[in-house]
Structure 1
Amino acid sequence: MEVMSNGAPSIGNHSDQEMENRKPKIRAVNLGGWLVTEGWIKPSLFDAIPNKDFLDGTILQFKSMTVRKFLCAESGGGSRVVANSSGTPGGGKHPAGSGPRWETFRLWRISEVLFNFRVANKQFVGLDSSGDGVDLVATCDSPGTRETFEIVRNLNDPNRVRIRASNGFFLQVRTEKRVTADYQYDESDAWGDIDPSVFVTSFIKRLEGEFQITNGLGPRKAAEVMREHWRTFIVEEDFEFVAENGLDAVKIPVGWWMASDPNPPPPYVGGSLAFLDKAFCWAEKHGLKVITDLRAAPGSQNGWERSSSRDGFQEWGDTNETIQQTLRVIEFLTSRYTKSPSLYAVDLLNEPLTGTLPRETVSGYYIAGYKAVRKHSSAAYVIMSCMPETSSMELLLPDASGLDRTVVDMQCYFLFDTEFDTIQDILPFIYKDSVTQVDRPASSNGPLTFVGEWVVEWGPNDATKEQYQKSAEVQLEAYGRATFGWAYWTLKCAEDRWSLEWMIKNGDIKL
């Protein structure tokens, strides 16, 4: 095997047979939770984080026990912080009924006990710089010392907290309209309901992604934990297993920071690029194709933990720099692996939040991303991801239709609660809806269709093995109509039926 000057694996130029092997369709599996962390896939990764209740992006509410109301950023930010929200719809909520609630605060973790609090309009809570400097406001766009707070938890009831400001004093609720940082107490003070400095916390949401684990562990421990995870979670034997079980491709989620390896910006840890190199080597050895999937873009394209969002806000596309940075990542990946016969496709951006991002932003990026790939490869397919439950597919197609070797990725998940009583009720719906989605964008000169994620999990906990087998059979038949193919989510997972490895070994799916 040759090695390129940049360290990437290479077999040399493509032969005619290799070009022939590039034709769809493919049956693939995602390698989720490996090079981009998703806590639910391997929860034990987070065990070593101290005070792991308070990770970046944790959304909290703080209820004052004296006034029985929640702290609230007035108008969602840009003004004072008060304690007058009832916590019910209409109280402390965005007036239009959408967007983050005004009485929720998103953590930026500075250390095990020090944090910034970000509010609905993206400002940070801090001490007012005017007057006596003790009033609580949410007016700062970039946090500093005045916006840093310590959360002190009650040892007997960890949901009861006091919040120490940068001036050394604790927050107290004087009235519903005034919250100040000028309360002093000693360890003998009770944590009772009449104490104006005591708040009861409610956890609204937690994030467990790449940013959370690396920042939560700190640079030294994160390097140790992540490199051990990359070394052991996916190994060459997994590629052999994939090849031996009727699959011919792997789809590998990657993060934007990988293009800066071995010295990515904090808190990310260097070293993951070497394992992507290994993945290409293993794929070549076992005759598998590789799809690189940009799952995490700078600023987060969807605000979800799987895109490595710090605090749940989608900020990719807010500036042109995040788009240009993303294009550099796409070009980096394509140029690095273009000589590998296993490079089959480049997914430009996983699950952009099309309901929030302007159509022209996503569309413009896809056109530029396509050109970035073509600068280095005329053979690799270019995948453009969209959310089929929105109108984004129709908006995307005119741009994709005029481009060579393009693919539209539509993810298909069917997770039900009690809407359906039996598997017999569900299966016709799954098949009909899946076929509709797969066939919808098909045209003679249009992009190929790809079900880039799907899973045999449909909700009821009392489903039988035979019902899961039938569900797998129906979905395989439906997704087999996709002109590019499909990719199961994912190879390994703590949730059994989200793990294709477990499904195959348990006999729940037959490929």
Structure 2
Amino acid sequence: MGCRGGTRLPLVRRLCFVVVLLCASCLCSILPYANAKRTPPPPPSVKPKAPPSPSPSQVVPAPVPPYPALPVRAVCLGGWLVTEGWILPPLFDGIPNKDLLDGTQVQFKSALRKTYITADQGGGGAVLANRTQASDWETFKLWRINETTFNFRTSGGQFVGIGASDGIIVATATAPALPETFQIVRCPFDKNRVRIKAANGYFVQGIATGEVIADYGEPTRWSDWDASVFLMTKVGQQLQGEYQLCNGYGTDKAAPVLRDHWSTYIVEDDFKFIASSGLTAVRIPVGWWIASDPNPPAPYVGGSLQALDNAFKWAEKYKLGVIIDLHAAPGSQNPWEHSSSRDGTQEWGTTDANIAQTVQVIDFLASRYATSPSLFAVELMNEPLAPRATLDSLTRYYRDGYNAVRKHSPTAYVVMSNRLGISSANSTELLPFAGGFQGAVIDVHYYTMFNKMFDNFTVQQNIDFVRTNFSGELAAVTTQNGPLTFVGEWVAEWKVPNATKEDYQKYATAQMNAYGQATFGWSYWTVKNANNHWDLEWMIKNGYINLKG
């Protein structure tokens, strides 16, 4: 009936009215804090007790990034921000004397005396021309200064140069300077017939006593009777990495070549294709010099950082996770071109300063991308090679690198690559170490390509090896309470001649089934490649691999 005219409310209604008034009063006191989202309520006068710390035996799960779900199916963007010539050979086409890049191994045989120039004992002393057969001592690695001028590095690491007097050639310098500088003059009708001009302006010759001396000043007809003419032989596999490309062109010419490559080789449509194909992440190799962009040390050129920024924008748009992979560490963690080694020398981890520099690169990358929802993981290093990369130096670096990531991101996984060059029995060597870190991942790579044992394998033998050997190795590192596992590289390519499309389909399926047990996931090498079966885009579009079935 209402409460007008002084009519008294029944007792129950009066009690309800009081309760409503009290609730309204409480609501008024609460509303200011509900609307002021950035203003916390005043602290209580007594601090609540902190929850007890977990005991060492308790497993505290790491926070999970927003996407994608585990296990990931990823593809590597190889050959994009870290150059590998075999992936896209035309990148090197414009380099003059492109067969004489940094790290090219050469031997010089006197056309007159039929003997090879040799660094006695591999270097550290005399240079002679008295060997009739060539081996390590007779092999020199080029350090390119320009298209015709070089340093020669011996197998022992010293540099060939002019000695103190009389133009005598020795190999004693530990670092090259002007006396260690030589010009290779090539015969116009036979590029492997050369003369070697020293810094004193004279040409090198091997004399009858076996010594090598720079004192020949006569012109040449390039005949075998000329003591200053040598037959140059290139041996071994030529390196075609980022260092070779940048130093081969020179910084000024390399800059437009690489910037055009970075802006056209991988574009937004590639990320759209990757996402639409059923893949959930990309693994992006980067080099250590990216942390110094836009002015990296010579011979590298700036611009790759902007490309990586673009990759994150596209990944966010298409809901893809990004695994940043430090593919080339300072000093090179292996002797191959994809670590950007200048001459195949592996020097990473040999000093504390080198390890600290590598940690700084990880800190830079984690800091820059920590707020991106696509930062899924940071891989601290790709394929360190034993025994030069020791387990001690690697675990010291992994500990510091992990902490650098965690300083900026509590959610990104931290990937630690297994060492190459160890036996399968030692493939679990990182387990005790990595198991102590939340969100740690162990990366293993499986190929039936880079070992002579696979040379004569049949289709079925390759498939059986994946199902038995590789699957068994992966199972050994995939433990219930240990770090996650990641097959960071694999490819549906082999050494089987005349294999059919159906053969490739079976091989790819066998690998995906085997690597599906990896708790973090797998990543195919690569998304694009001059070689079709290494090109996942080609494999998907041509029906060799189906990720949606």
Judge same fold: TM > 0.5, yes or no: yes
Could you give the per-residue CA deviations for residues 169-207 of structure 1, whole angstroms, max 9, x where no partner exists? Answer: 000000363000001121xx3222232111111111311
- Report the residue type matching 1:163 in the other structure: I
- Does structure 2 retain, via aligned residues, the 8 Å contact 1:420–1:426? no
- Report the residue type matching 2:434 in the other structure: A
Could you give the per-residue CA deviations for residues 448-496 of structure 1, whole angstroms, max 9, x where no partner exists? Answer: 1110000000112311111001101101100101111000000000011
CA shift, 1:214, in A, is 0.8
Q: Does 1:164 align with 2:197?
A: yes
CA shift, 1:149, in A, is 0.3
Q: How far apart, in 2, do the equivalents of 1:284 and 1:476 lie?
A: 26
Q: Does 1:114 align with 2:146?
A: no
CA shift, 1:23, in A, is 4.4
Identity percentage over the alignment? 54
Q: How far apart, in 2, do the equivalents of 1:427 and 1:241 lie?
A: 28
CA shift, 1:70, in A, is 1.6
- The aligned counterpart of 1:146 is 179
Distance 1:181 1:240, change over 3 A: same
CA shift, 1:257, in A, is 0.4
Q: How does 1:429-444 map to 2 (within 5 A)?
A: 429-444=465-480
Distance 1:358 1:178, change over 3 A: same
- Does structure 2 retain, via aligned residues, the 8 Å contact 1:18–1:341? no
Could you give the per-residue CA deviations for residues 34-89 of structure 1, whole angstroms, max 9, x where no partner exists? Answer: 0010000000000111111111111111112223222111111110111233435x
- Report the residue type matching 1:281 in the other structure: K
- Report the residue type matching 2:223 in the other structure: G
CA shift, 1:290, in A, is 0.1
Distance 1:506 1:66, change over 3 A: same
Q: How does 1:57-68 map to 2 (within 5 A)?
A: 57-68=103-114
Q: Does 1:105 align with 2:105?
A: no
Q: Does 1:323 align with 2:359?
A: no
- Report the residue type matching 1:353 in the other structure: L
- Does structure 2 retain, via aligned residues, the 8 Å contact 1:387–1:411? no
Q: Does 1:243 align with 2:275?
A: yes
- Does structure 2 retain, via aligned residues, the 8 Å contact 1:248–1:289? yes
- Structure 2 counterpart SS, 1:195: coil
RMSD: 1.7
Q: Does 1:37 align with 2:83?
A: yes
**345, 352, 355: which is aligned to 2:387?**
355
- Report the residue type matching 2:305 in the other structure: L
Q: How many residues align?
A: 481
Q: How far apart, in 1, do the equivalents of 2:106 and 2:455 lie?
A: 31
- Report the residue type matching 2:109 in the other structure: K
Question: TM-score by structure 1 length?
Answer: 0.91
For structure 2, the residue ranges without an aligned partner over 5 or more in a row are: 1-61
- Does structure 1 retain, via aligned residues, the 8 Å contact 2:116–2:138? yes
Q: How far apart, in 1, do the equivalents of 2:517 and 2:365 lie?
A: 29
**423, 432, 435: which is aligned to 2:459?**
423
Q: How far apart, in 2, do the equivalents of 1:315 and 1:68 lie?
A: 36
- The aligned counterpart of 1:3 is none
**313, 320, 324: which is aligned to 1:288?**
320
Could you give the per-residue CA deviations for residues 198-220 of structure 1, whole angstroms, max 9, x where no partner exists? Answer: 11111113110001111111122
Q: How far apart, in 1, do the equivalents of 2:92 and 2:225 lie?
A: 36
- The aligned counterpart of 2:234 is 203
- Structure 1 counterpart SS, 2:323: strand
**253, 259, 265: which is aligned to 1:227?**
259
Q: How far apart, in 1, do the equivalents of 2:178 and 2:340 lie?
A: 25
- Does structure 2 retain, via aligned residues, the 8 Å contact 1:26–1:248? yes
Q: Does 1:410 align with 2:444?
A: yes
- Does structure 1 retain, via aligned residues, the 8 Å contact 2:129–2:206? yes
For structure 1, the residue ranges without an aligned partner over 5 or more in a row are: 1-15, 93-100
Could you give the per-residue CA deviations for residues 286-320 of structure 1, whole angstroms, max 9, x where no partner exists? Answer: 00000000001111111211011111100112222
CA shift, 1:17, in A, is 11
Q: How far apart, in 1, do the equivalents of 2:350 and 2:410 lie?
A: 31
- The aligned counterpart of 1:485 is 521
- Does structure 1 retain, via aligned residues, the 8 Å contact 2:332–2:347? yes
Q: Does 1:46 align with 2:105?
A: no
- The aligned counterpart of 2:162 is 127
- The aligned counterpart of 1:182 is 215
CA shift, 1:158, in A, is 0.7
- The aligned counterpart of 1:216 is 248
- The aligned counterpart of 2:116 is 70
Q: How far apart, in 2, do the equivalents of 1:283 and 1:440 lie?
A: 33
Q: How far apart, in 2, do the equivalents of 1:425 and 1:266 lie?
A: 47
Could you give the per-residue CA deviations for residues 392-430 of structure 1, whole angstroms, max 9, x where no partner exists? Answer: 533322211111111110000012777545312321122
- The aligned counterpart of 2:36 is none
Q: How far apart, in 2, do the equivalents of 1:398 and 1:421 lie?
A: 35
Distance 1:19 1:190, change over 3 A: closer
